[in-house]
Amino acid sequence: MDSGFERSPEQEALIADWTPPGIDTTKPHSARIYDYFLGGKTNFAPDREAAEQTLLAVPYARTAARANRAFLLRAVAHLARLGIRQFLDLGTGIPVEGRNTHDAAQGIAPNSRVVYVDNDPIVLVHARALLSSHPDGETAYIDADVRDPDAILDHPALVRSLDLDRPLAVMLLAILHFVPDDEKPADLVRRLTERLPSGSYLVLSHLTGDFDPIGTGGGANVYRKSGIPMQLRSRAEVEALVPQGWELLEPGVELVSRWHPEPDAEFPDPADIGCYGLLARKP
């Protein structure tokens, strides 16, 4: 439809150059590189350059990103069917239209409550989209670093939205490979989950070099050279992130594409995924 509105070339140039305030668009960022792989538009030239370099080493990065997001939605739906109504989604990423945690949870149980956490200001800009809750449920957004569990668990927005005396799901999807060993990721998971009651769940996904060490090693180098810490982990190392005593749900630590796939799912080559997923339950 013709709106009858035309922009001058000067206005077009201004819009093309516009960047949200407070966001450093001169350096690539993990959330925006991932957005590029998923086909989103919330990315800038340095993000696209880093993503294209990554694709040279890991040509299947788009397939892997889509498979990870599909795992997120299946895992949340699975937990909603098991009766979980509270979700703490850490490292949320840039929202994907209709494919966010609250969409999957509230699609099954409209009264589900979701608290999103990310430390990237670009995600904060999009928080409004994350807050489009079903009226029977609730969503909230916290701008915080996953490496500071107490700040997250004691945050007023979390305390208002979630009841830590009732089971909830802690979600750490495609985030812990940005936390190297010297920052003690297993300790972090323990601190994020130790206050939770029995019947709570952990959902985790994590990049691995188990299937294509050379390609994924090259991809991880692109991130590191861009200033983004990245550590790939083996199946055993991913399993070791699960707090002691928690029970792994079937099928255990599995490629995200193979974790309870949809009946009509296609199975890409494991080397084209390179990302493990798991669900665990606190007994």
Ligand X SMILES: C[S@@+](CC[C@H](N)C(=O)[O-])C[C@H]1O[C@@H](n2cnc3c(N)ncnc32)[C@H](O)[C@@H]1O
Binding stretches for ligand X (CB under 6 A)? 30-31, 34, 68-69, 72, 91-93, 118-120, 123, 145-147, 173-175, 178
Phi, psi of 124 (to 5 degrees): -60, -40
Min dist CB 276 to ligand X, Å, is 12
Q: Considering the complex, what minimum distance in angstroms separates the CB of residue 55 from ligand X? A: 15
Nearer to ligand X, 199 or 229 (CB): 229
The CB-of-237 to ligand X minimum distance in angstroms stands at 18
State the nearest-atom distance from the C-beta of 39 to ligand X, in Å: 13
Residue number of the CB closest to ligand X reads 93
Q: How far apart are CA 115 and CA 102, in angstroms?
A: 9
- In the complex with ligand X, the residue whose CB is nearer, 70 or 109, is 70
User: In this complex, which beta carbon is closest to ligand X, that of residue 99 or of residue 199?
Assistant: 99
Rg (CA), the chain: 19
Q: Which residues pair with 203 in a beta bridge?
A: 171, 279
Contact between 243 and 142 under an 8 Å Cβ cutoff? The reply is: no
Q: To the nearest whole angstrom, how small is the minimum distance from the Cβ of residue 184 to ligand X?
A: 13
Beta strands in 74-200 (DSSP E): 86-90, 113-118, 138-143, 169-173
Pairing between β-strand 275-281 and β-strand 201-207 as defined by DSSP bridges:
antiparallel
Spatial separation of the C-alpha atoms in residues 260 and 155, rounded to whole Å: 34
Q: How far is the CB of 149 from ligand X (least distance, A)?
A: 11
For ligand X, the closer of residues 15 and 141 by Cβ is 141
Comparison of 119 and 221: residue with beta carbon closer to ligand X: 119
DSSP for 39-92 reads T-S---HHHHHHHHHHHHH-TTHHHHHHHHHHHHHHHHHHHHHTT--EEEEES-
**Closest listed residue to residue 282, CA positions, set 174, 175, 166:** 166
